Chains A and B, each alone.
Chain A
């Protein structure tokens, strides 16, 4: 059964871009409010009836809110930690050598991390200290700090095509688009009337970006004509916590919400909700789609479970 019980509450799950059967799960004790954190790296068996096994786990002094895989080294993961640090782990090294890096510049919880998929040498961290920071693995300090948001930044995501462009989603109700070569943000999109918790770029059209908000909705935007969203997706019953565009199907995306569900959407359909998965019994806060296996979805939540399943099947089916 493709499910794994984590001792702490799940916060984020990411497929490895190198191994189709490997995922990283970020977890935090006490729902991330207080306590320790643990970063799990899990292996899916090639036989889906066999359980998921743990490759390695790293403990942290505070909750791990997000994780992202290195795009250049198959064994490196970056963890966003609630104590404000960004930590790098190398699975190839013994646990005693890990973390291989710990960057401590953010003054508040780091809520997301994203590795640059084009240049593959740098990554972003978004923090509750209202900033986004740009890092490379080998520099002891951040390359740049992007400080424009007026409230917590919950997510910062690289554009899949343009090595220098990324978007950040913030509790100040704006989405900002940045070019790291520019001094300030290049676009400010007042996307919602409520806090924006997540955003992601379409993998097929680099001008399309989606935002997920506390207002329960997902909006899809074309940054060339951002006055009105292309689409507004309603259906979640609580704040939408994370969303991810499909790497394989242009119009497909997956989202998870405090309503405990994981939803798959086709944002060009009038009846946009394609599927709803209700397998989590507490808030669903982490979701990802595999780049290597089409239709493979992973989710995690505060019910301390990480699921991996093929879209269209029941996550709980064994």
Chain B
């Protein structure tokens, strides 16, 4: 990002001294961009080891007779003679000052004066080497940190002995590990990098909030306000036991840490869902666990996971890694962390304390094992959560690496969606400016914070206050009518009254979910759909809607679960979906089944819709577009289908086409808030920020509760250099905005 501005000269260089203390949300954004790396690996030529015996004689001065490639050693640019001139032209006439200095150096410096014995040489610095046990522990620990880059294994905080690090040392570790982590984990998400660094720092008891050097220098002061504002969202509180505090603080740092502002989608959803659930479980179990040695339990649990992941890596280099051995030992309980060192348990520690410790330790082990298998024994609906969670957890654990890799292949804008993350596509569009990045960063963070809150309350539907339809004789019918008329916000109220009256009415919940979705309110949509599914687990439309929304949220396993469920419960296709498959769903299997279904009944629009959704999951946008187009041939009046097509086109960087598709959707349903907002996003993607603002304002005029659209609007306003209207946006002054940005 920065470089574009550097080229265009859009921004001036910031003062590096300011940057060294910067908290740097923007930067993270830039790093989120680093997602897309080419995985293409060229064929590697092995070194012929048999040649090595003869190497001795020619070691020094004898060059190879034929160096590979030397036959190509010829000039490949004929204009070579121009080269010097070209570089010389760098020099313009005007800069005499530097030249003088430079020339002067040349004259003076021709004679080195190293040996004149002026004696003013600074004394050599001496500092005691960090030998001894703490040093060894630190070294091993840092090694494990660096090693974690290889497998893309999440690095978990471990409790380390007190190492006696000075503040200066801590700052060194903090700064350098942050910078290095960006090199090591280049193809991981920013969030992943942060989790890694924070895990490292919290294990070493280093405050990660004082970031010496963020990924990029700070540029925009106004961010601070936003930042402070969002601090209000930080969940406060601490758990009773120290081990969990470190776990918690790691979690907390995700909010606190300025660099965590840019969050990857992947982390927002799958993994954090897990974290929050995990935290949940911890809360409820803190009482039982009080008095145990939490650190070792936590460490055990983490290292066990790590060891499993490592063990799957067949690379012999990996198997030989010092880190692997360390971790394996630890997970088997052969190593424990004593108060000030890592110990082998085989060596009996003296005294009662040791046996007591061991006992606790074993207890902890058992608990940790149990915990692994049963992550969620708390929550609103324990049995459902537990089931859902166990599968997710399993998959997350096993394919964590893959997940991350997969994510990193996304250009972050790849999958913007009906449901809310659509900003992704816009924000990372080709012509993003720093302003954009900035605002997007803020947005991501806010969304992230919101997500954090919502994760714990996921699936909990929040009813509106003051609902005029409560007590209405037939709110469902009223709601359906309002929905048909396109009065979505009103329809929501009526339908809420309906489900309050009869909570088991799946249709009421479903319609409510759809109304929220079309109104661009994800969280409520998902919550409503989940209630609908509870009420009627086999409702096809509900399953499809949940599949779509989880796809939007990039929760592949959940999406696959619902999409598979749709097939399972479909009267026509139930036979081709073997029930035992639901235990381990893979993308390829589900896609195959749907392709079979499409062959069975090529005229079933729903099958093509699901195929389109699935191809979005795998980011095969061309196929997705084709599938949606086929479905549209069968169902040309389905406005939500036009919207899906548009979103997919936007994802495959065809924003102009997307606008056509959205327009179709809006022609069919003028009050389709989501399509209005999507329209805005597509314009923003094309750099037409003024246009995009108008569409966002229109969407918001229809539903001021569309939180995402407010954020998109803010981004577009900054990009369109309409900072004067930011305040109107922040204060949600729709009148002013509508007056300023009328839609022709």
**How many angstroms between the C-alpha atoms of A241 and B183 in the bound complex?**
9
Q: Which residue of B lies closest to A178 (CB)?
A: B90
Segment among B173-181, B327-335, B685-693 that sits at the interface with chain A: B173-181
Q: Is A239 a contact partner of B95 (Cβ separation < 8 A)?
A: no
| Contact indicator B121/A293 (Cβ below 8 Å) | no
A21 CB contacts on chain B under 8 angstroms: 60
| Given known contacts A31-B146, A121-B109, A151-B216, A97 and B121 CB-to-CB distance under 8 angstroms | yes
* Contact stretch, chosen from B80-88, B296-304, B373-381, B474-482: B80-88
Chain A residues contacting B38 (CB-CB under 8 Å) are 215-217, 234
Known contacts A205-B83, A238-B149, A314-B51; is-contact A251 B69 (Cβ 8 Å): yes
Q: Are B186 and A216 in touch, CB under 8 angstroms?
A: yes
For residue A220, give the distance in angstroms from its CB to the closest CB of chain B. Answer: 10
Decide if A186 touches B90 in the complex (CB within 8 Å): yes
Note all chain B residues with C-beta closer than 8 A to A29.
129-130, 139
How far apart sit A177 and B70, CA to CA, in the bound complex (Å)?
A: 29
Confirm or deny: A223 has a beta carbon within 8 angstroms of a beta carbon on chain B: yes
Contact call A249/B73, Cβ cutoff below 8 A? yes
Nearest A residue (CB) for B58: A310
Known pairs A188-B3, A205-B75, A310-B58; A102 contacts B122 (CB<8 A):
yes
Neighbouring A residues of B56 by C-beta, 8 Å: 48-49
Q: Is the CB of A36 within 8 A of B142?
A: no
What is the CB-to-nearest-CB distance from A55 to chain B, in angstroms, rounded to a whole number? 18
Which of A30, A273, A317 is the one whose CB lies under 8 Å from B139? A30
Q: Does A147 contact B (CB under 8 A)?
A: yes
Min CB distance B300 to A, Å, is 25
Do residues B63 and A294 form an inter-chain contact, with CB atoms below 8 A? yes
Interface residues of B in 14-49 (CB under 8 A from A): 14, 16-17, 19-20, 33-34, 37-38, 40-47, 49
- B346 at the A/B interface (Cβ < 8 Å)? no
Contacts of A58 in B (CB 8 A): 124
Assembly CA distance A152 to B320 (angstroms): 34
Asked if residues A48 and B60 are in contact (CB atoms below 8 Å), the reply is yes
Q: Which of B82-138 contact A (CB under 8 A)?
A: 82-84, 86-88, 90-92, 95, 97-99, 101-102, 105-106, 108-110, 112-114, 121-122, 124-127, 129-130, 135, 138
How near does chain B come to A131, taking the closest CB pair, in angstroms?
A: 7
Which B residues touch A97, using CB under 8 A?
121
Q: Which of A20, A136, A309, A317 is packed against the most chain B CB atoms within 10 Å?
A: A317
User: What string of 1s and 0s marks CB contacts (under 8 Å) between B59-71 and chain A?
Assistant: 1111110011110
- Nearest neighbor of A33 in chain B, beta-carbon distance: B176
CB < 8 Å neighbour of B169 from A34, A187, A258, A277? A34
Interface residue ranges of A176-220 to B (CB < 8 Å): 177, 179-183, 186-188, 190, 193-195, 197, 205-208, 214-217
Of the candidates B2, B77, B98, B129, the one whose C-beta lies within 8 Å of that of A183 is: B98
Chain A residues lying within 8 Å of B3, measured Cβ to Cβ, are: 172-174, 188, 190
Taking the nearest CB of chain B, how far is it from the CB of A298, in angstroms?
Answer: 13
User: Is the pair A190, B112 in contact by a Cβ cutoff of 8 Å?
Assistant: no
Binary contact readout A143-170 vs B (1 if CB under 8 angstroms, 0 otherwise): 1100110111000000101101100000
B-side contacts of A108, CB under 8 Å: 20, 175, 213
B 160-196 to A, binary, CB cutoff 8 A, 1 in contact else 0 = 0000010001001101110110111011000000000
Is B6 in contact with chain A by the CB < 8 A criterion?
Answer: yes
For residues 17 through 52 of chain A, which have their beta carbon under 8 Å from a beta carbon of chain B?
A: 20-21, 29-36, 46, 48-49
Q: Is B464 an interface residue (CB 8 A)?
A: no
Residues in chain A near residue B172, CB distance under 8 A? 33-34, 62, 82
Q: Report the count of interface residues on A (CB-CB < 8 A).
A: 129
A72 vs B146: C-alpha distance when bound (angstroms)? 38
Q: Does B6 lie within 8 Å of A98, measured CB to CB?
A: no
Q: Mark B258-274, 1 if CB is under 8 A from A, else 0.
A: 00000000000000000
Q: How far is the CA of A161 from the CA of B69 in the complex (A)?
A: 24
A313 and B51 contact, Cβ closer than 8 Å, known pairs A150-B2, A217-B38, A234-B42: yes
Interface string of A219-256 (1 = CB under 8 A from B): 00011100000100011011101000000111110000
Residue B4 at the A interface, CB < 8 A?
A: yes
Do B63 and A273 touch across chains, with their CB atoms under 8 A apart?
Answer: no
- Contacts known (A151-B2, A165-B87, A216-B186); A295 close to B63, Cβ less than 8 A: yes
- The contact of B77 among A88, A222, A271, A272, by CB within 8 Å, is A222
Nearest CB of chain A from residue B147's CB, rounded to whole Å: 8
A90 at the interface (CB under 8 A from B): yes
* A117, CB-defined interface residue at 8 Å: no
B744 within 8 A of A: no
Complex alpha-carbon distance, A161 and B84, angstroms: 9
CB distance B41 to A314 under 8 Å?
no
Central interface residue in A136, A150, A195, by most chain B CB within 10 Å: A150
Judge if B633 is at the interface, Cβ distance under 8 Å. no
A30 pairs with B138, CB closer than 8 A: yes
- Complex Cα spacing A251 to B74, Å: 8
Q: Determine how close the nearest CB of chain A comes to the CB of B582; give it in whole angstroms.
A: 36
Given A109-B176, A138-B109, residue A312 in contact with residue B87 (CB < 8 A): no
Q: Give the one of B40, B72, B105 with max A CB within 10 A.
A: B105
C-alpha gap A183/B90 in the complex (Å): 11
A194 B95 Cβ-Cβ under 8 A: no
Residue B53 at the chain A interface, CB threshold 8 Å? yes
Contact call A295/B64, Cβ cutoff below 8 A = yes
- State whether A273 and B42 are in contact (beta carbons under 8 Å apart), knowing that A20-B60, A107-B20 are contacts in the complex: yes
Is A274 a contact of B105 with CB atoms below 8 Å? Answer: no
Q: Is the CB of B20 within 8 A of A129?
A: yes
A174 to B64, CA, bound (A): 36
Assess whether B86 is in contact with A223, with CB atoms less than 8 Å apart. yes
Whether the Cβ atoms of B53 and A207 lie closer than 8 Å is no
The distance in angstroms between the C-alpha atoms of A183 and B108, with both chains bound, is 22
The answer, among B45, B69, B121, for a CB contact under 8 Å with A100, is: B121
Chain A residues near B114 (CB-CB < 8 A): 73, 76, 88, 90, 100, 137-138
Do residues A31 and B143 form an inter-chain contact, with CB atoms below 8 A?
A: yes
Task: Give CA–CA (A234, B46) in the complex, Å.
Answer: 16
Chain A 262-305 near chain B by CB (<8 Å), digits 1 or 0 = 00001011011111111001110000000001111000001000
Q: Which listed residue, A2, A107, A268, touches B76 by the CB 8 Å rule?
A: A268
Contact A143 B105 (CB under 8 A): yes
- Residue B157 lies at the interface, judged by CB distance under 8 Å to chain A: no
Query: Roughly how many angstroms separate A143 CA and B143 CA in the complex, as a whole number?
Result: 39
CA distance A36 to B124 in the complex (A): 13
Chain B 547-588 near chain A by CB (<8 Å), digits 1 or 0: 000000000000000000000000000000000000000000
Given contacts A36-B127, A252-B69, contact A223 B87 (CB under 8 A): yes
B91–A137 touching, CB < 8 Å: no
Q: For the complex formed, measure the closest distance between the CB of B660 and the CB atoms of chain A, giving whole angstroms.
A: 30
Mask: chain B, 296-319; 1 = CB below 8 Å from A; 0 = not: 000000000000000000000100
Docked-complex contact B16 and A181, CB < 8 angstroms: no
Which residue of chain A has its CB nearest to the CB of B135?
A: A35
Question: Looking across the interface, which residue of chain A has its beta carbon closest to that of B3?
Answer: A190
A34-B169, A217-B38 known; A164-B102 Cβ under 8 A: yes
Partner of A36, one of B2, B7, B101, B130: B130
Interface status of A260 (Cβ within 8 A of chain B): yes
Complex Cα distance, B610 from A40, in Å, reads: 63
Which of A20, A109, A214, A273 contacts B186 (CB under 8 A)? A214
Asked whether, in the complex, the Cβ of B6 is within 8 Å of the Cβ of A188, the reply is: yes
Known A-B contacts: A98-B124, A122-B105, A181-B102. Give 13 more (CB < 8 A).
A31-B142, A33-B173, A107-B17, A179-B91, A190-B6, A205-B80, A207-B83, A223-B86, A224-B83, A251-B69, A252-B69, A274-B45, A313-B55
Subset of 8 A-B contacts with CB under 8 Å: A21-B60, A33-B177, A194-B37, A224-B79, A252-B67, A274-B68, A283-B146, A313-B55
The 9 A-B residue pairs with the shortest CB-CB distance in the complex, in nearest-first order: A266-B69, A317-B52, A313-B55, A48-B59, A190-B3, A314-B52, A294-B63, A61-B125, A186-B90
